[in-house]
Structures are given as C-alpha cells and as structure tokens.
Amino acid sequence: MSTIDIPADSEFGLDNLPYGVFSTADSDPRVGVRFGDNVIDLVATLNDPIFATGSLNPFMAQGLNRWIEVRTAIVDAITSGSPIVTHPIDSVTMHMPFDVADYVDFYASEHHASNLGRLFRPDAEPLLPNWKHLPVAYHGRSGTVVVSGTDIARPNGQRKAPSESSPTFGPSTRLDIEAEMGFVVGVPSDVPISPDRFAEHVFGAVIVNDWSARDIQAWEYVPLGPNLGKSFATSISPWVVPLLALESARTSTPVQDPEPLDYLRESQSWALDIDLTVTWNGHEVSRPPYKEMYWSPAQMLAHETVNGATSRTGDLFASGTISGPEKHQRGAFIELTWGGKEPVTLGDETRTFLEDGDEVVIAASAPGPNGSSIGFGDVRGKITS
C-alpha cells in the first residue's frame, strides 16, 4: 500500500483518471485507474468486487451517478492520504478494457472525405450528396477489435488494379491506417439516444486505429461498402478516458450548413478538442486535430440509434479518419501520400503504404481544467506477414 506523488504536469493526474484492465504476474485481469505512472488497483483500494471481473462492462452499465460516485471516491482516496494499492505502469500487462458489443465506424471528417473524393472521383464533386445531411458510417466487426500492442497480420483478399482485366488473390499491398477517436457506450438503450442525452449513455473515449487494406477495399466496396478491407483488425488504446474528464475539451463543430435535421441538433455541442500524433517507425508524420470533425460524437450516436437500433453496454463507435486542412494533419497514409504518389520520408527510408515490420503509434491528448492536459496514452501496432 502506498500514497502517490506525481509531477504537476502529468497527463494522468486527478483531472484525468482513465480506466483500464490490467494484470500482474500474480493476479488475474482486473480494473484499475491510471494515476501518473502507476495503476491504482480498484478491487483492493475500493474493496468493490465489480472491478474484479476483468472488464469495464459491469461498471459502465451502472450509469452516470455511479460513475460520478466512483470517480469522487478515487479522488478522495488519493487526496486524503488513505492507503492505496498501486502497481508501477511498467510492471503490469494491459488487456482489452471492455467487451465490445457492436462496432460502428463513421466518416465524419470533411477534410478526409473531400480528399478521398478528389482521389477516387477527380471529375466529380468531392462530397457525395448525402454527406452534409447525415453522419455516414459502416457497421464493422466487433470480434477483431484488439488492444494496443497486438501485432497486425497483413490481410489477404481480392485485389484488382485499374489496369488489370480480372482480380487476383493475395496479401494487401496498400495497407493503411486511420487515426480516429472511439466512444464507448455504458448505459444501453432500446430507444433513440438524442444528442443531449449523450453523456447519460457514453462512458468514455479511446484512441482507435482502423487498419485498412486499400486495394482490397477499392475492389469490394461497391455497392455495399467496406468489408474485408476493414474487418481484419481495429486497434484501441488500453485506457478509457471518461467523459467526466473531458468537459474542458468541449468545443463547437465547424459550421454545419445546411442545418442538420431536428434529431441531429445539439443544444450544447459535444465536439472535442483532441490533438493526435501519428508516428511511423519512430518518425512523427502527422498531427490530426479532432476539433476539425464536421459531425460530433453525440450526433453520430443519435444517427446510429434513430432508426430504432438498440445500443448495448460495450458498443464502440469511432469517428472515422481525423484529418485537418493541412497536409501534415492527414490521418491516413492514402491521404498523406496522395494515393501513393508522394512518398513519406522516414529517416533513410521512404514509404507509401505499410511494409512488414513497420510499427505505427497514435497518441492523443486534450485540454483539461486550469491548464492541465488529459492524456489518452497511445495505440500501437506492428505489421507482420
């Protein structure tokens, strides 16, 4: 048992307190909270068996009042000098923080959607007619969402280049990333969730890397959208930053014109000021700004449920690639290299798409109260053959 002293400028201070699932050499997976470079064992510190389940789902399902109660208890334990059971961050193994129920990935960046429109439809309008009227999305595969640090096997599938008369089968040669933010549903619902009820249902946020096989995707996506080009792997960060820690990061979306339909209107925006950093083999290549996203996460969830689709504890929905107006703010390599025509320099090497052995790390942080910073940690993955 110990008390904890951390640097005043830590991204994992009292204003943050993200949740994750960890294990030690002599313990099963259990829920903890990161404070500085330590993990607070909530089972031992709060004497609450709900945190011994190896998943955040039972706790998340208890709802907003319970989330506030536990957060207050953790802060009180830290600040009162009460005995706290901790483990150094480098002595634990991190696991999937929650059981993923469903996974939906949106396409909410106007800059990303416009860039891909220019790449794929150079003689047409970059945005399709529906894009500014609703948050476009596809339904992904929850079973292949993995925690940061999991190796990513290069996927196989059909590919057909424009110059080829018929498709071939084999490993993707245009393997890509998508730097995104994801949001985790805590409280389920069998009725639509309006934007203003967002914080009653969504527990927190994670960093997402939606790995994408662009050659497989390009051949298969017409007319029903992504399938094998996306379903092989999606990585998330191990720490779930609670919405309760992100109040100071709230901002406004870009001007939405035309005005959204009634069910998508927010009385107070849940757009968030989060800065991401993408590192490729140790070299920083991009800084995507989440505050540039056209659709807010509250609008995404409202659209996802407006047709009567139920939501469940552990549902994950992601933003889609985060890109800004500048080249160094593009959150996917297909944009950053402009379809492979403009290679990126990584030290003594160049890249267009991912090669075996490449590692990508995406980190994120947001402003907190009184000038503090809220860290999300990072999500990393290495490509294997």
Annotated binding residues, written as ranges, equal 105, 107, 121, 178, 180, 210, 217, 221, 230, 234, 321
Kindly give, in sequence order, each residue whose CB lies less than 8 Å from that of residue 170, ignoring residues fewer than 6 positions away. Answer: 156, 159
Binding site membership for Mg(2+): which residues?
210, 230, 234
Answer for the pair 288, 331: CB distance below 8 angstroms, yes or no.
Answer: yes
Binding site membership for Ca(2+): which residues?
105, 178, 180, 210
- CA distance linking residue 287 with residue 276, whole number of Å: 5
Single out the residue of 139, 180, 145 nearest to residue 304, CA to CA: 139
Q: Which residues pair with 183 in a beta bridge?
A: 205, 317
Binding site membership for substrate: which residues?
107, 121, 217, 221, 321
112 labelled catalytic = yes
Take residue 258 and report the two structure tokens written for it: 């035309």
Residues 195, 196, 201, 203: is their CA dihedral positive or negative? positive
- 373-384/152-153 β-pairing: parallel
Single out the residue of 62, 333, 289, 94 nearest to residue 181, CA to CA: 289
Answer for the pair 170, 156: CB distance below 8 angstroms, yes or no.
Answer: yes
Three-class DSSP category at 51: helix
Take residue 15 and report the two structure tokens written for it: 């204003």
Answer for the pair 195, 264: CB distance below 8 angstroms, yes or no.
Answer: yes
Query: What torsion, rounded to 10 degrees, do the Cα atoms 181, 186, 190, 195 define?
Result: -50
Catalytic one among 87, 95, 111, 112?
112
Known catalytic residues are 112
